[in-house]
Amino acid sequence: MSLPQFAQVLIVGAGPAGLCLALALQKQGCPHIVIVDAALQGQNTSRAAAVHAATVEALETIGVADALVQEGLKFKKTVVWSSTHELETASFEPLSKYTKYNYILGVPQHVTEMILNQTAQDRGISVHRPFKVVSIKPSADGSNLTNVFFENGHVLRARTVVGADGARSTIRQLANVGWADPSGEVNTNKKEEVLANMIVADITVTNPPPFPRDSLNLALSANNVVLWVPLPGSSYAEMNVPQGEAVFRIATGIPQERGQPPPAPDTAYIQDLLDNWGPNKVLPLDTPRVEVTRTLWSSRFRTHSAVADSFFAHVPAEGGEGGGPIMLVGDAAHIHPPMGGQGMNLGIRDAIKLAPAVAEFVRAATSSPDTASEDLEKPLAEWAAERREKALTVIGLVKQIQGLMSMPNERQYALGFIPYNAAWIRDTLMGFAMKFESVKANGAYRVSGLGNP
């Protein structure tokens, strides 16, 4: 499929954020939308497995929520398991005061993308693949357009370019937008930072642990944590997973002494991790060993946070900037550790909320081309400032969660002589706090995104 010569909006990246933006722009009546992706269909990785209430509400506005809810599992609580207790840390039922989606929806990212792709196709939106952007320059004719150069030599003129192309965003780099941890922290991967390197996998098992099917479960053992989440077996029907067979998403830290995990951990590697830190470490001794039978998908990653200096920029040019606006959404704008399952959710909400601002800009720019650029672009600047603040809020929340989960379960000394165990203190305080339903409800509200949509 060949690319056109012009687009009012060029979206670079056809992951969840890019697809949601295209669908939302179409709903706004914005013409000449082009979406490209450097990867062939099916080459995008899948990490997210949770869709939060605020995100489902956003997806409802573009007519995708019902299909997604039908494919997912509904989690009503999060439960932390240790060798001494079972502790419910968040309860989503009370969210019914604010939303009809009073749960976390469990659905792997590749299913979310499949639904979004099918919806886009049904509505006449085509994704152009594989088209790789290699350069962007202001149009030389003073038209406030951006010339976008592709690897195959094609040049497309765009009024607006949106980078939805992931954490290593080409668009962000070409626009010279800074990228750093907002608090200036560097992940040093010290021994106690066991969650600095993690693996994530979708697996099938024999003897699944007796965890509730309606909860997100965390097995908290000595100096590590294993996330254990049931997923709908239909998510992997194409890999001959029988209908009704349970699939589980797991994620866990890799202690420094084990070195770097392999890029795609195999079944034996995952089994070893579960034997050392998995459900059997927090369940009664007579619990049958959880055995991994198949690894359907796996990956490794380093956990760190970063945010773009601005989600709104222009193309660098001699003597300043030029061309049309450059916008950043999703992982191109912000990344953070996976605790709380916030990444894809925030990116989807970025995109859907960007659509009205872009549509307003396009209408104004085409109907009143002589208006000052600063006035035309005001909706975009306001969106960018608001979404960056929301990203900073999420990064702060995720760092809090990671800090709690990473506390070392060992004796340490304050002032050199006062012994303490940070994990024991955490568990004791959490055990007391979680006696109050309001505390669990507040935790669910913060994670849901309803207070920071």
Residue 197 · residue 205 · CB < 8 Å = no
Q: Is residue 116 a part of any domain in this protein?
A: yes
pLDDT in tens, 97-115: 999 999 999 999 999 999 9
Q: Do 265 and 333 fall within a single domain? A: no
Residue ranges making up the domain that contains 294: 194-302
Within a domain: 22: yes
| pTM for the structure as a whole | 0.92
In a shared domain, residues 230 and 363: no
| Span of 67-71, 79-83, 246-250 with lowest mean pLDDT | 79-83
Would residue 94 count as lying in a domain? no
Q: Are 233 and 266 in a shared domain?
A: yes
- Whether 416 is in a domain gets the answer no
My answer on whether 164 and 67 are in the same domain is yes
One domain for residues 62 and 152? yes
Q: Which has more confidence, 240 or 157?
A: 157
Q: Are residue 280 and residue 200 in the same domain, yes or no? A: yes
- Are 364 and 271 part of one and the same domain? no
Same domain, 276 and 316: no
Confidence of residue 193 (pLDDT cuts 50, 70, 90): low
Last residue in a domain, options 272, 302, 332: 302
Domain termination residue (choose one: 262, 284, 302):
302
Is residue 237 domain-resident?
yes
Claim to verify: residue 287 and residue 245 sit in the same structural domain: yes
In a domain, 356, yes or no: yes
Residue 135 resides in a domain = yes
Which range has highest mean pLDDT (74-83, 376-385, 403-412)? Answer: 376-385
What confidence score (pLDDT) does residue 42 get?
60
Q: 261 lies in a domain?
A: yes
The pLDDT mean for the chain works out to: 90
What value does the mean pLDDT take over residues 155-168? 97
Based on the fold, state whether residues 44 and 157 are members of the same structural domain: yes
pLDDT per position as a tens digit, 259-300: 999 999 999 999 999 999 999 999 999 999 999 999 999 999
Mean pLDDT computed over 45-51: 80
Do 284 and 328 reside in the same domain of the chain?
A: no
The whole-number pLDDT of residue 188 equals: 46
Q: pLDDT digit string (tens) for 407-425?
A: 677 778 887 878 877 776 7
Q: Is the pLDDT of residue 189 over 60?
A: no
CATH assignment of the domain containing 398 = 3.50.50.60
Q: How many domains does the chain have?
A: 2
Q: How confident is the model at residue 141 (pLDDT cuts 50, 70, 90)?
A: confident
Residue 293 shares a structural domain with residue 321: no
Length of the chain as a residue count: 453
| pLDDT exceeds 90 at position 155 | yes
Domain boundary among 276, 302, 328: 302
